[in-house]
Structure 1
Amino acid sequence: MTTATYPAPVVATYGSTDPAAPLVVLLHGRGSAEHEILGLAQHLPVGPAYAAVRAPIAEGGGYAWFANRGIGRPVAASLESTMAWFRTWLDDVAPAGRPVVLVGFSGGAAFAGGLVLDDPARFAGAAILYGTLPFDAGVPTDAGRLADLPILVAQGDGDHVIPRELLDRTWDYLLAESAATMATLRRPGGHGIDAETVHALGEWITTGWLGSTDDR
């Protein structure tokens, strides 16, 4: 699989049109599309530019970020290829010096995690919402990999979509091994972005991706 097999990115935007404004990239879940997650932007802080990108692989009436070998377990070659496709788009819209923050939900969270683990210096922060990092998928997960990078992780104790072992491994790695600057939200609900999550995400963005919403 090569990047040439993928269509040109389809992107929906909201907020600032200043090409120097911080860019918040919204990454939808598996089987969804860009217009669904773009609705988050109207509830988030004014100031950044928001861009929701459509994943490049058609699947189930929607789109996916990578081929799976199981829920939350990307095929390494597929993830590598789609990340290269994404970075080609990103480097065009956000050249060096423009802050870029990733906000990923479910499958989009795994994709966001892959991007920051692959190249932490490229990003100003990432929100991993109700998903897993892409373990055992060709991206580094060594200790200290995300040193000082602002990360928000949100999980639901009643999430039965993402395997619990992957949610726990993600939580433990981010808080105990990654050395990221962490903000956390753990709630009793399931697999979905609710008002509490939107509030936590907005606070994290407002405080420069360095706030804490630790409700453990």
Structure 2
Amino acid sequence: MTEFPAPVVALAGSTDPAAPLVVLLHGRGSDEREIVTLAGHLPDGPAYAAVRAPIAEGGGYAWFTNRGIGRPVAESLAETMAWFRTWLDEVVPAGRPVLLVGFSGGAAFAGGLLLQDPSRYAGAAVLYGTLPFDAGLAVTPGLLEGAHAFVAQGDEDHVIPRELLDRTWDHLHGDSGATTRSRRDPGGHGITRETLDELGDWISERLALGR
């Protein structure tokens, strides 16, 4: 079992310990300081926690080792998800809503967490990334019945393999059973202002916030 460092977390938004928590998960090679800036463009009301991934890589951090872009090694993903759940279950009491927002590699991690335990989360946003297919997690029809997802993709995204983007889009809109809101951009591998606006609306709806 790999020994990971204690989580490093950047906080923003509400300091009320009962406030809904939005967990921000950065992309491969990035860190918590970059993605926490999204909180300034998202709804007031929740607490925001940007967590640093536990694997050092490329001057930043990664959520899992991979066998190709968007293709996690199953054993690595299982270990990092267990590490994350240990942290989450320690800091978030039962009954406090938790919503996941992941970008790129963080999107695959958020998707993995949702697939592992759909009832734990108020929803998961998969932004410009893929679900972790063929990585030791069940991706069966109806598994996400009752769960909520937000998926955003760029039509000119050449970072994540198109086959994985298409498979993610089709699965979340179809066999998964999830209630899915989605947005397609004409651009590439980056979060647009329009996507942030729609993501903010989705967060408000999922957490019953007034906007």
TM-score, structure 1 as length reference:
0.94
- Note the C-alpha offset of 1:202: 0.5
* Counterpart selection for 2:136 from 133, 138, 158: 138
> 1:155-207: CA deviations, max 9, x gaps?
00000000000000000110011111110001111000110111111111112
- Which contiguous aligned blocks of 4+ residues in structure 1 show a shift greater than 2 angstroms? none
For structure 2, the 5+ residue unaligned runs are none
- Measured on the aligned residues, the alpha-carbon RMSD in Å equals 1.0
Q: Distance in 1 between matches of 2:22 and 2:121?
A: 10
Q: Report SS of the residue matched to 1:126.
A: strand
2:167 and 2:158 map into 1 onto residues whose CA distance is 15
Contact 1:26–1:102 (8 Å) recurs in 2: yes
Q: Which residue of 1 aligns with 2:48?
A: 50
Amino acid aligned to 1:99: P
Deviations 1:121-165 (A, max 9, x none): 111101000000000000110001111211100000000000000
Specify which of 174, 179, 182 is matched with residue 181 of structure 1. 179
- 1:209 Cα shift? 6.1
Q: How many residues align?
A: 208
2:29 to 28, 31, 40: 31
Q: Which residue of 1 aligns with 2:164?
A: 166
Match for 1:76: what amino acid?
Answer: A
Instruction: Letter of the 2:58 partner, please give it.
Output: G
Contact 2:20–2:207 (CA under 8 A) maintained in structure 1: no
Name the SS for the 1:67 alignment partner. Answer: coil
TM-score by length of 2: 0.97
Q: How does 1:91-170 map to 2 (within 5 A)?
A: 91-170=89-168
Deviations 1:33-92, CA, capped at 9 Å, x for gaps: 001000000111000000000000000000000000000000000000000000000001
Q: Find the aligned partners of 1:207 and 1:172 in 2 and give their Cα distance.
A: 23
CA contact (8 A) 1:160 1:191 kept: yes
Which segment is superposed worse, 23-32 or 187-196?
A: 187-196
In structure 1, list runs of 5 or more residues that go unmatched: 211-216
Query: In the alignment, does 2:199 pair up with 1:206?
Result: no
